[in-house]
Each structure stands twice: as structure tokens, then as C-alpha cells.
Structure 1
Amino acid sequence: MFGKWAIVAVLAALAVIIAAYAVFRDRDVGHDRFFADQTYHFQTLRALTDIAADGADTSEVLETIKHIRSGDAQGWFRAWSQTGDRVASLANATIDRIAKGRALLRAHNYYRTAEFFLPPDAPKRPVSAEKNVRSFYAGLDALGVAYQRIEVPYETGHHLEAVYYPADQVDSGKPLIVLGGGFDSTLEELYFVLVKDAHDHGYGVLTYDGPGQGSVLRDQGLTFTHEWEKPAGAVIDAFLADHARPGRIVLVGMSMGGYLAPRAAAFDDRFDGVVAYDVFFDFGTIARRYVPSAAFWLQEHGLAIVVDAMVRAKAALSPSFAWAASNGMWTLGTKRPLETVAALQKYSLDGVAQRIKGDVLILAGAEDHFVPVEQVARFEKSLTSARSVTTRIYDRPSGGAEHCQLGAQALWHADFFDWMAERFGSTPAPTR
């Protein structure tokens, strides 16, 4: 009798185990996020996106973020710095030139990522920045990548930074691509964004940091200007002083560069085409939607101290907001978040886009967490003088729904190079 009930009990237990396995198996599905917080998730995706250009490796990134809690800027810095140090040590111990160069580029990216959430005045920032820049150029040198660093005169006593990556065939007739970043970019990371793939396609690329970006902000304290035709024009002037003028020049702006590049193209006819990667038609509208209307009333009635308290409370609850508020004040030279919002009202293409005469490519993510996709239609409607307007909006199934199509670099690159071939496939030879 005991044996019979024992068998029944075992079978019942097996049935429970099988049923439980079936339930949990059905729940065991993949996830599309690294962190619940959007900014921490997005910055992880940003690091991973550089894999295609030798700027990261999957497991190195995953091993790094498993030690990080969202909102912990110091923990983020510590984990990414340790990965950067480890990969840099690996590079130093590697004899193979290509493997060494790739490891140095990865170390650069991890160091750049490490300091992202640190306060602007954090003493760790300069040290980390020096390590990421040094690793980057050492990586290019090890790989034999041809480049020229250019110091661009700008205003009195200042300069901008640019790097030119020549095409293998300088007389190919292909346009020169000029690439600039945005709200939080660095000059060196632009190599991974487009330069390497453009070089594989036979294009030369000129990259640059303007006011508010990279070392120009960090070392000289130059903050953003909405009149982006000034820095962009200075970069072209400096380049043409020592190089043959290309038959065509196409300006690409990344992220906030989706405003900066079209603004420059509107006032400088030397740009034959412009790419908004992504759309960034009106930064003022974007900024205002993050601020409750009561805050403006309080500010107008001399209660800025109350607004400051509201900002601190929201920053404590939202790592994304805390970073955006801090970076905005740093890059625009403002003292309070509402001053940043006021300053950003100038960063609009409304009344400006009508001046653009060349070809325009607009890229956008359908679920961009920063720029509403509705700004695409406003931009298109304003381009009344453009020679042509091409728009690509990427949805979630395509993988390109994020801001700047992070995680889907090959997707937007395919559309970009098709557009380049269609619009500028036949170009005049370079001239002096």
C-alpha cells in the first residue's frame, strides 16, 4: 500500500514540476531594455552601437552594467572606468597591431561612457577625458587609420577642434562629408557614428567640435550658440585653407545637430546637402514640455527659490532629469534650469529652414524619447526652398525607433549612403 501511494506522490510532484516549468518557460522571454531608467538604458545602447566600428564588445558591456544601479553616477563611473582600464591593459599586452588598435578604441569608448553622468565640475572628469582621448588616437595609429587634427581659429583667443579623415582616393569626385555632434557628443566618438563606414564607402569625412561640445567646452569654457553657421563656417574656412575645395559638401548633424547642421546650411551656401540625424526642429518646444507651467509663474513672481526646490526634488526622483538639467546648464552657460529653457527658445528652425536650398535628408525614430516625431512634419513644411526633401521614420520592429537610431546603425547608414548616391553620385572634380 505504501509503495502505491509513494508512486502516486512522485507522479503528482512530477506533474507539478512540469506544470511549473511550462508556466515559467512561457514567461522566459527576452527583454529590450538594460535599465528601467531611459537615460541609463540609452547610454548603454549608445556604447553597444559602436561595436560595428570596433568601439565596443558585447560581453564587455554586459559585464560592466551588471554592477550598476540606475541613478548611481559614481557607480556608473567606477564600473565603466574599470572596464576601460582592463581593456587598455589588454591593449598594452597585445602584440598584434590590429587587435591592439581595436582594444584601444574600445577602452576610449568605455572611458567616454564612464564620465557621462558625473557633475560637470567633478575632479574625475579631466582625468577620464584625457585617458579616453589618448586611447582613441593611439588606437587609430595602431590600426593605421589616416587622419589630420586641425585647430580652427574661432573668436578672439579661442579655437575649435576638427579631425579630417581623407578618403583613400582623394580625387574620387565623391562629396566631402562634414559631421558634427550635439548636446553631449565628443569629437572622437564621431568616428564610430559614421566615419569608419563612410571611409569603407570611399568618402572623406571632416569631423569637428563646436562651442558647447567636447574639449572646446571642457578646456576653453565655450558654450553653445544658436548661430551655428559661425562655428561650422569657421571649420570649413580652416579646412579649405589647406585642402582643395571638394566638388560637393554634405553636412550631417547628430542629435541636437539635427538643429545645428540645418541652421548652418541655411546661412552657408557651401553646403550642398544637409542631414538631420535626427530631426531636431525646435529645441525650445522640447525643453518646455519638461517644465510645469507653475514653474514659470513662480519664476516671474520672484519665487525662484521654490523652483529650485522643485528641480532638486524631481532630480532626486529622476536620474534622466537630473542629468539633462545639469548638462543643459553646463553646455549653455546658464545658472538655473529655467534659464536653460529660456536660452533654448532660440534653437528653432522656424523661420530659418526656409533658407535651405540644398538637398535635405531627415531621419527620425518613431519612439524617440527626446524629440517628438511630430517635429518631422514641421520641418518638412518649412523647407520651401530645398532642392529635395527625403524623410525616413523608423518604427520599433525595424530596430530604429530610438533617438538617433541607436542600436540600429546599419539601418540608417543604408538609407544615408543610398541618399548620397542618388543625390550626389556624379560630382565635379575637386578644385583649388
Structure 2
Amino acid sequence: MAALFRDALHEAFGSWPLGYVPYGGADVGEVRAVAEAIGDGGDDRYHAAWTAAAARLQAEADAALANGHAGSARELYLRASAFHAASYHPLYGAPADPRLLDAFRRQVAAFDRGLALGPHPVRPQRIPFGDLALPAYLIPAAGHEAEVRPLVILTNGYDGTVTDMYFASAVAASRRGYHALLFDGPGQGAMLYEQGVPLRPDWETVVAAVVDFALAQPLVDLRRIALSGWSLGGHLAPRAASGEHRIAALIADPGTWSIADGFRAAFRRMFGLPPEAVRDLGALDQAIIDRADAAIRGDRELNWKVVQRGFWVHGVDTLRDYLASAERFTMQGRAALIRCPTLITQAEDDALAAGAGAFLEALRCPKTLLRFTAAEGAGGHCEMQNRSLLNRRVLDWLDEQFAAAG
């Protein structure tokens, strides 16, 4: 499919809602109209165009509700939430841009209002987590809202939000007969934007609190709780399952061994370093750090991924501190601890999925590798251009695991 947005970074972010089309998060013409409104404009115009489209949807939702069309209003509020969520990713970075915070708050308000409508309203929840509380939503299985059903816990990655998880995974899970539990963990969504809580590697501690919450829900089948992570969640979810053994099935989309390994390979290529020189990226020579920092800041995409997003999410201010933090996110010594059946995805054009085969080999649990190709329209990161294919195959696998469990 030809790019809709003229700027490569805008295309990376602005094409996300295309993956939500089968689940009511957008339609192709709407996304194209936003891209045309942006044209050759920069990040400010990108944000303004998505915000204007979200405001139009919100106004339509208000009118529909006033005229007694609650079903249409629900759809429109949820779609407005997805558009607000798409608006602010280029604005990432600390301190948080006021426009990002405003868009996020509008996103959450529209999301909450949409979910509250209909015969089975969903209310925002708070999961106790030490002195904090994780924002969460329990999305019921469609047609089985009052029944005890299996649960899929969905965990995000670096820069997704609960709205993204809702359209990318929860709607499909609900249609298949699963309850779905969405939450923001440290370094994600409201925890980062509103409270400044950074990402942490011990995701088993985070998921333990989420599982405690799930077990207290009367409609959850306590023997059939799955954990699914997408993007960086494809690392966080396996890390969690390595220490939280109440998880009955695990999905990693894609299976990601570590954060640091990709940087390790890049530093070797850039500077001709031997393997032993990049064993600990946080201990690199300062001259190498300085050259890498300049190269990263000089590249629009890398600057966004590392400086704007990475520094903010990890709660650091320098490249050395970011690399030292990245070293802590690894499955080394953890993969063999996973006990439950595990599915790892690998899309052929996704650089983050390159190590999925080696990840699979390190597992000692029942395991499956599910490949996706460009010929299927699913070769990109998290299969976003054919998300319905991903959901269908993953949920088929999960159906089989839980059926076998009795």
C-alpha cells in the first residue's frame, strides 16, 4: 500500500488507525483526509489535523446522543478517542508538551464516555500497585457479558495507550468470547504522561498486581488467564510470565529478547567494535557515546525513538543512562522460567522480530512460532496493516490452548 503521509515519521504514526478499521477505530477515507490536511506540514500541523478530525467526531457523537442514538454515539466517541491518540506521538518528550496532555485527556474522556454507553457499560478501574494505582478497563466478552469466561490481559509497549490496545486486540478478543483487561503500567499512558512514572524491567511485579485484580473479578475463569503483549509488550509479557505463574497462556507479538541487543548490533556496525566492547552499553567509552548521540540526534526517526521517547519513558536525560537502563530489559536467565504455553509472532519485515526464532529456542515450555508475511499484508511491525489476520490466528491458537486445558 502506498504511503498516505508525506513525512516518514507521520506515516509510521498516522497509519496505526488503519489497523483499527475492522474494529471501528477509523475508516480509510478518514485517515486519508487527515493525511491530505497535513500535506507537507510539520509536527504541529500533524497534531492539529488529527485534533480537528477528533473534534468533528466528538461533535457528531454529542449530536447523536442528543437525538437518542446511543449506539452511534458510542461508536463516534470511541473513534474520536482513537484520533486523539493518533495526534500526539510526534510531540513526545520530557517535559510533556501541554498539547500532548490535553489530547490525552480528551482521548480518555471520549473513551470513557463511549464505553459507558450501551446495554453493558464499562467503567474505568484502578488496580492497586503499591502507593500507585494502574488505570484499567475490563472489556466484557460480547454476548457473554454476565458469564464466567476466559480472560486476556493485554499489555502495551513503548508508546501505545489503552485506546490502541482496545482497537488492536480487545475488540477482537471480546468478539471471540474472551473478557479483556487493559491497563497502563509504569512508563505507559497515564502513568507516564500524568504521573511521570518510568518504565521498569520487572514486569512480573506489575502483572502480579494485575492478576490479583483479575482474580477478584467474579466473571473471570481463574484457570484460563492469558497474557498478551504487543510491540515492546512482546518483551514485557514474557518477562512477566517468567515470574508470574498464574498465567495460563502467553502471547508475544513479536517475541523480543531485549531492548539493548538492537543497539549492540548498531554500535558494532557504526564503530567497528568487537563483541566484547559492546557487552555492556552503559560502560561504553565516552567518545563513542558522544559520536552516537550526535548521530542519533541528527536523524529524525532515531531522535524520536531514543531521545524523545526512550529518554522520557526510561526516566533518563543522557544516552549513557538510557543505554544502561536498556541493558536491564533482557530475557537472559528468564526465558527458561516460563512454564505456560507460549506463542511468539514474527513478521518478516519487522526488525524487532528478527530474534524471534532464537527466543523460541530458549524456551522450555510448550511453544509455537507464528510467522506473518508481506504477501499477506502483515509483514510490518505488529502486523498493523492486517491486524485482523493476526487476531484471528492468535485467538485460534488461544482457543486450542484453553480447550486442551479442559
**What TM-score does the superposition give when structure 1 sets the normalisation length?**
0.83
- In the alignment, the residues of structure 1 paired with residue 381 and residue 100 of structure 2 have an alpha-carbon distance, to the nearest angstrom, of 25
1:197 alignment partner AA: A
Matched position secondary structure for 2:20:
helix
Task: Please report the RMSD computed on the Cα atoms of aligned residues, expressed in angstroms.
Answer: 2.5
The CA deviation at 1:152 is 1.6
Could you say which residue in structure 1 is the equivalent of 2:187? 212
- In the alignment, the residues of structure 2 paired with residue 303 and residue 193 of structure 1 have an alpha-carbon distance, to the nearest angstrom, of 39
Could you say which residue in structure 1 is the equivalent of 2:137? 163
The CA deviation at 1:42 is 2.4
**What TM-score does the superposition give when structure 2 sets the normalisation length?**
0.89
Could you say which residue in structure 2 is the equivalent of 1:22? none
Unaligned runs of 5+ in 2: 274-280
Q: What is the 5 A alignment of 1:331-342?
A: 331-342=313-324
Could you say which residue in structure 1 is the equivalent of 2:19? 49
Q: What is the 5 A alignment of 1:12-411?
A: 31-35=1-5, 38-68=8-38, 72-94=42-64, 95=67, 96-120=69-93, 121-155=96-130, 157-167=131-141, 168-169=143-144, 174-243=149-218, 246-291=222-267, 292-293=270-271, 300-301=285-286, 308-312=293-297, 314-315=298-299, 318-368=300-350, 370-373=351-354, 375-384=355-364, 386=365, 388-411=366-389
Query: Aligned pair count?
Result: 390
1:341 alignment partner AA: L
- In the alignment, the residues of structure 2 paired with residue 259 and residue 349 of structure 1 have an alpha-carbon distance, to the nearest angstrom, of 8
- In the alignment, the residues of structure 1 paired with residue 171 and residue 259 of structure 2 have an alpha-carbon distance, to the nearest angstrom, of 29
2:285 alignment partner AA: E
Whether the 8 Å contact between 1:173 and 1:426 is mirrored in structure 2 is no
Unaligned runs of 5+ in 1: 1-30
- In the alignment, the residues of structure 2 paired with residue 126 and residue 144 of structure 1 have an alpha-carbon distance, to the nearest angstrom, of 31
Could you say which residue in structure 1 is the equivalent of 2:278? none
- In the alignment, the residues of structure 2 paired with residue 371 and residue 224 of structure 1 have an alpha-carbon distance, to the nearest angstrom, of 19
- In the alignment, the residues of structure 2 paired with residue 227 and residue 97 of structure 1 have an alpha-carbon distance, to the nearest angstrom, of 42
Is it true that 1:418 corresponds to 2:383 in the alignment?
A: no
Matched position secondary structure for 1:162:
strand
1:346 alignment partner AA: R
Matched position secondary structure for 1:268:
coil
The CA deviation at 1:380 is 0.9
The CA deviation at 1:44 is 2.2
Whether the 8 Å contact between 1:38 and 1:320 is mirrored in structure 2 is no
- In the alignment, the residues of structure 1 paired with residue 401 and residue 129 of structure 2 have an alpha-carbon distance, to the nearest angstrom, of 32
The CA deviation at 1:307 is 5.3
The CA deviation at 1:355 is 0.6
Matched position secondary structure for 1:362:
strand
- Relative to structure 1, the CA distance from residue 365 to residue 303 in structure 2 (aligned partners, 3 Å threshold; closer, same or farther) is closer
2:4 alignment partner AA: F
- Relative to structure 1, the CA distance from residue 275 to residue 298 in structure 2 (aligned partners, 3 Å threshold; closer, same or farther) is closer
- In the alignment, the residues of structure 1 paired with residue 158 and residue 79 of structure 2 have an alpha-carbon distance, to the nearest angstrom, of 22
